[in-house]
Structures are given as structure tokens and as C-alpha cells.
Amino acid sequence: PPPAALRGGGLAALSWNSLRNFGEMRCQRRTDTTFASPILHYRERELVDRLHREKLRDAKATVNTKPPEPQPHLQLYGRDYYARKKATIEAAYRDLKLCQRLVEESERKPA
């Protein structure tokens, strides 16, 4: 969390005591500075973090999750659908012809 001095009205609102107390050796100060100033480092880090959060918020999906387009070359039914359909039609046609021959035989006059 930021020091109380940085939460207020900016760098102009900082007093000498808040600047002096800001740099207490809680961590390695050399790695926690930008332009040799922990305060500027904190401000810069805050800006970078805010920009990063905005980028994450505005990110768009890059993976296409829409269903695939219909492909006209793919069959609508299974592999043997048309073969079974043709066999069924031929069987029905043979049955019809058989029934017609039976009717002709039954209507024929005896010799």
C-alpha cells in the first residue's frame, strides 16, 4: 500500500518528514527506485500497473469459438444411408411387381 503522503494531493503535498520516513529500510532500496527516487518509483509503478489493468480489461478473445461453417462436400447422413435407401426402394419395387403378377395370375381365365 502507498504511504499516507502519496495518497493525498501529490508530490507538492509531501512534507520533509513524510519523505524522510518513506525510505525506511524495509527492503533493498537500490532495487526499489526509479530515477534514484523511491517516490518516483512508486508513481511509475502505479502508472504501469494501471495501464496493465486497462489492457487486461480491454483484451479481446483471440480464439475463434464460433461453430464451423457448413461444408457442402460433406454428406448430410451417414456413409451407408444412400445405399440402404436405394436397397429399400428396390425391395419395395420388387414387392409391388410380385403383387401385380399375383393379381394377374388370379384374374387369368382357366384354360
Going by the DSSP 8-state scheme, the letter that residue 3 receives in this structure is -
The alpha carbon of 105 is separated from its chain's Cα centroid by a whole number of angstroms, namely 71
Dihedral sign for Cα 56, 58, 60, 61, please.
Answer: positive
Question: Is the pTM for the entire model greater than 0.75?
Answer: no
Do residues 22 and 5 touch, judged by C-beta distance below 8 A? yes
pLDDT in tens, 32-89: 666 777 788 888 889 999 999 999 999 988 898 889 887 777 667 777 888 899 999 9
44 SS3 class: helix
Rounded Cα distance between 106 and 110, Å, is 10
